[in-house]
Amino acid sequence: MPVLRDVDVRPDPSEIDKISPSALNRLLECPKRVAYGRDDRTKGWDRPTTRTALGIVAHGLAEAVTRGYGPADGDYTGWLTTIWEDLVAKQVAQLQRAWPGRQVPPAHSWPGYAVTKVRLIRGFARRPPWQAAPAPRPAGQPAATAGGEPALPWVERRLEDLGSRLFGTPDRVDEVNGRLRVVDLKSGVGQREVKDSQLRQLLVYALLVKSSLGRLPDDVVVLDIKGQEQAIPVDASAVAAVVTVAAAAVDGFNQSLVSATGAEARPAPQTCRWCEFRVICGDYWAARGSDWPTAIDIAGVVVGITTHYVELRSIDGSGDWRLVLIGPEQPAVGDVVLAVDVEPAGFETSRARWNSRVRVVPATA
C-alpha cells in the first residue's frame, strides 16, 4: 500500500521521565501508540468515548461513597442516583466539547450504561461499599501513620516512587482484618478473571504503597460492579519483576526517540482494536486483515463526490464503495480518505458515526 506511507506520521514525542500503570500497559502493547499520545501534532486524535466516559462516571460514584459522604434524609438510592446523573451530565458535556459538530448519543443508549448504573446503585444502596466508608476514628487513634502518612483508608490518593519512575492513583488502599489491601474498581460489565494487564497495574500500586508505608500490601483486590472481589496475595518477587519490566520499557522507548526508525509499532488485532491513533498509523493499515475485530475501517482514494457521499476506490484497486461523511471533512478527487469505526449504510455504502475518526490526505501530500 504505497499511498499510505504519506499517512504515517512519525511522532517526535518527549522522553518519558515517569509513567503510570495504564501508560505502562500501553507502552508494553505498542510503543508507537504512546509516542502518538506524547506528540503535540498527533495527541489530539485521542478523544473520549462513551466507553471511557462510563468508566469515569462509575469511578466517580464509587469515590463519593467511599469518602464517607451520604444522604441527610437516609434515601441512599436517591442520593446515589443524583450523583450518578450529575456525573453523567458532566461527561456528556465533555464528549460534546471533544467532538464538535457531532451528535453525541444520549447516555441511556451508551453500551453497558443501564447494567452499570443499576448494578452500582443497587449494590451501594444495599450494602456498605468496599467494606463501608471509613467509620469515625476512635478517640485517641492517630490521624496519620507512624511515618507521617494520612491514616487509612486512602481513596484516589496519588502515590509515587522516584526510584522506579512509577506513579499512580489507586482507587482505594485500606486494611481489613489486619491485611493491607489495594482495591481497584473495574467498571466493565464483562469483568471476569483478572487480566495480566490488570494484575500488572495492581502490582505497581503495591510498590507505590510500599514506598509510602514501608511495607507491601498483603493483597491486591479487583472489585467488579456486582460488588464481587477477587483478592490475590502480593508476591514481592512479582512486584520486583514488574519494576524491571517497566524500567526496560521506559529506557527502550526513550532510546528509540533518537533512532532512525522511532518508536516501534506492534500492530495486532487486539492491540489495535481500541487504539485511538490507528486512523493515522501506516503500520496498522499495512498489517490489518479482514478478520481483525476493528469494526469497519476503510481506506480509499476519492474518485467521485456527490452531495450525499464520496465515492472511494480501495487502495489496492479491488473495489469501489461509498462513504457518507457527517463531519467537517471535505475531500477532493484524488485525496486519500481513511475512516475508522464507520457503520454499514446500504449496499457498498458506509456512513461515519458520531465518533468515527476520519483522516483526509490531500493528493498533493
CATH number at residue 219: 3.90.320.10
What's the pLDDT tens digit per position in 90-138?
A: 999 999 999 988 899 999 999 999 989 998 888 888 755 444 444 444 4
pLDDT in tens, 18-48: 999 999 999 999 999 999 999 988 999 999 9
Determine the pLDDT at residue 142: 46
Is the model more confident about 202 or about 127?
Answer: 202
| Residue 113 placed within a domain | no
- Return d(Cα 338, Cα 136) in angstroms, integer: 57
Residue 80 included in any domain: no
- pLDDT of residue 146 exceeding 80, the answer is no
Q: Which three cell numbers mark 234?
A: 502480593
The verdict on residue 225 lying in a domain is yes
Average pLDDT over the chain reads 86
Q: What is the band of 145 on the pLDDT scale with cuts at 50, 70, 90?
A: low
Q: How many domains would you assign to the chain? A: 2
**Residues 230, 303 within the same domain:** no
How high is the pLDDT of residue 129? Answer: 47
Query: pTM value?
Result: 0.84
> How many angstroms separate the CA atoms of 301 and 173, rounded?
53
Using the 3D structure, point to which of 218, 250, 282 is the last residue of a domain: 250
The reported pLDDT for the residue numbered 274 is 86
The answer to whether position 116 is within a domain reads no
**Phi/psi of residue 178, each to 5°?**
80, 5
Residue 245 is classified by DSSP as H
Nearest to 220 by CA among 172, 164, 178, 188: 172
Is residue 245 located within the same domain as residue 308?
A: no
Q: Residue 2: pLDDT above 50?
A: no
Q: What is the largest CA-CA distance in the chain?
A: 78
In a domain, 224, yes or no: yes
Residue 181 lies in a domain: yes
Give a yes or no: residue 78 inside a domain: no
Q: The domain containing residue 351 runs over which residues?
A: 295-361
| Listed residues 225, 250, 275: the one ending a domain | 250
pLDDT of 14 strictly over 80? yes
Which carries the bigger pLDDT value, residue 146 or residue 2?
A: 146
Residue 54 lies in a domain: no
Point out the domain boundary residue: 221, 250, 279. 250
Which CATH number characterizes residue 342's domain?
2.40.50.140
Same domain, yes or no: 240 and 302: no
Task: Express each pLDDT in 204-256 by its tens digit.
Answer: 999 999 999 999 999 999 887 677 788 999 999 999 999 999 999 999 999 99
Residue where the block lists cell 483478572: 194
Mean predicted confidence (pLDDT) in 300-304: 93
Q: Are residues 227 and 309 in the same domain?
A: no
**Together in a domain, 164 and 246:** yes
